[in-house]
Amino acid sequence: MKCLSVTLGKFKVSLARRFALVPLGPPLLTYKSNCKAMLTAVDGSVRLLVDRPYKAGEPIIVWCGPQPNSRLLLNYGFVDEDNPYDRIAIEASLNTEDPQYQEKRMVAQRNGKLAIQKFQVCVGKEKETISEMLPYLRLGYISDPDEMQCILSSEGDTCPVSPCSERAVLDQLVVYLKSRLAGYPTTLDEDEAMLAEGSLEPKKEVATRLVRLEKKMLHGCLQAANEFISGLPDHTVSPCPALYAPELK
């Protein structure tokens, strides 16, 4: 009989009792991100709550919790292609050398953001994340003190920016996303080809699946940014130079 070690930290179990041996393991028990059966803690024990009747010897698929694939790989050793909780982060920060840094930080905090803000890109919601980032990035491009005062005295995200600033914000996003994609040793097409061949050794295959899914989200963000550029009313406007543009990581 195989035993599976289960971490119970998310059930608020004391540190000394956070691990349990469950007499089920592969191939009888596997994990997925989009199923309903789950392991839970009840009165100091671990119980498997199933979502339907199972026959003897039939594999049981258990919910592994709302974790991105990067955590699934660390915690369980696999990547779920259909993981609805998959995500990556884009970090944006206001320029600390900006003479209006403190004012911009106050406006960001008023709108629930930090001077160094991590934006979570969730799978399938890349355009929504780019939309959420735009007001923050626009704030970083403000240079006119009168315009800054207008923003400080208003409610909401920021006052509308000029067409050239809007183009500069979107161009910065596009450059960042292309640079981040270029930082991978392989392209998305190359990952697809390697996986299609089926000749990768197991560790290499799961790592390739992980970065492939990350790249798909980044490509989704890039597509969204380009769509916003296409939607600009005047494509002849050149981006405004910005001495203190926000930083993206």
Whether residues 147 and 44 share a domain: the answer is: no
- Domain of residue 223, CATH code: 3.90.1420.10
CA separation for the pair 152, 119 (Å, rounded): 23
Q: What is the pTM of this model?
A: 0.84
Is residue 75 included in any domain, yes or no? Answer: no
For residues 106-130, average pLDDT: 97
What's the mean pLDDT when you consider all of the chain?
A: 87
pLDDT for position 2: 41
What are the helix (H) ranges across the chain? 69-76, 101-110, 126-141, 145-153, 163-182, 188-197, 202-230
Whether residues 133 and 200 share a domain: the answer is: yes
Whether residues 117 and 197 share a domain: the answer is: yes
* β pairing state of 19-22 and 29-32: unpaired
Where among 34, 65, 96 does a domain terminate?
A: 65
Is residue 169 included in any domain, yes or no? Answer: yes
Is residue 80 included in any domain, yes or no? Answer: no
Helix axes of 145-153 and 101-110: crossing angle, nearest 10 degrees:
20
Does residue 27 have a cis peptide bond before it, meaning omega lies within 30 degrees of 0?
A: yes
- The number of distinct structural domains making up the chain is 2
Whether residues 60 and 101 share a domain: the answer is: no
Q: Could you report the per-residue pLDDT of 192-211, keeping only the tens digit for each?
A: 999 999 999 999 999 999 99
- Residues spanned by the domain of 163: 87-231+238-248
Q: Could you report the per-residue pLDDT of 21-32, keeping only the tens digit for each?
A: 665 556 567 888
Helix axes of 126-141 and 163-182: crossing angle, nearest 10 degrees:
120
Whether residues 128 and 8 share a domain: the answer is: no
One-character DSSP codes across 164-230: HHHHHHHHHHHHHHHHHHHTSSS-HHHHHHHHHHT-S-HHHHHHHHHHHHHHHHHHHHHHHHHHHHH
Q: Could you report the per-residue pLDDT of 26-55, keeping only the tens digit for each?
A: 656 788 888 888 878 777 777 778 888 888
pLDDT for position 18: 57
- pLDDT beyond 60 at 11: no
